[in-house]
Amino acid sequence: MRDLAVEVAQALLARNARMATAESCTGGWVAQQLTAIPGSSKWFEAGYVTYSNAAKQRMLGVSAQSIQIKGAVSESVVVQMAEGALNDADVDITVAISGIAGPDGGTEQKPVGTVWFAWAIKNQPTVSCLSFFFW
C-alpha cells in the first residue's frame, strides 16, 4: 500500500490537485496511509469515516432510499459517498470504499469480502468497481 500511496501523492503534486477519502469498512485506514507520507498536507484535504448508515447520510449526503433499497455496500451508495466527499471537501478527486469486512454480516448475494470502490473526479463521470477481495 505504501508504494501506491506514494504514487498517488506524486500524481497529485504533479497536477497541483487535492484529494479526500470517504471510507466505511476501512475505518480511515486509506486516509491514514496517505497522510503518513511527509508533506501530505499539500495534496490531502479530508478523510470521512462514515461507518454507519446515518453518518453516510449526514456527512456525505447518501440517500436513505439508496441504503434501504440497495444496501450500504452497493454501487449506488459508494458513488454517492465519492460524490458527496468531492462536493463537501471541494477537492479535485475522491476515493470511496464500502464493504463487508466480516467476520459476519455477509449474505449469499453479498458475501464477506464484498467491497465497492468509487472515484469521483471534478467535472468527470464517477467511476466505480466491485471487488470480492478484502485485504
How, if at all, do strands 44-49 and 19-23 pair?
A: parallel
Q: Is 99 helix (H, G, I), strand (E, B) or coil?
A: strand
CATH classification of the domain holding 113: 3.90.950.20
The pLDDT of residue 49 is: 98
Q: Round to whole Å and give the CA distance between 99 and 81.
A: 13
Q: Is 34 helix (H, G, I), strand (E, B) or coil?
A: helix
pTM of the prediction?
0.93
Q: Is 27 helix (H, G, I), strand (E, B) or coil?
A: coil
Q: Which domain holds residue 17?
A: 2-131
Total count of domains within the chain? 1
The pLDDT of residue 118 is: 96
Q: Round to whole Å and give the CA distance between 89 and 80.
A: 14
The pLDDT of residue 18 is: 98
Per-residue pLDDT of the chain (135 residues; tens, 9 = 90+): 679 999 999 999 999 999 999 999 999 999 999 999 999 999 999 999 999 999 999 999 999 999 999 999 999 999 999 999 999 999 999 999 999 988 888 888 888 889 999 999 999 999 999 887 654
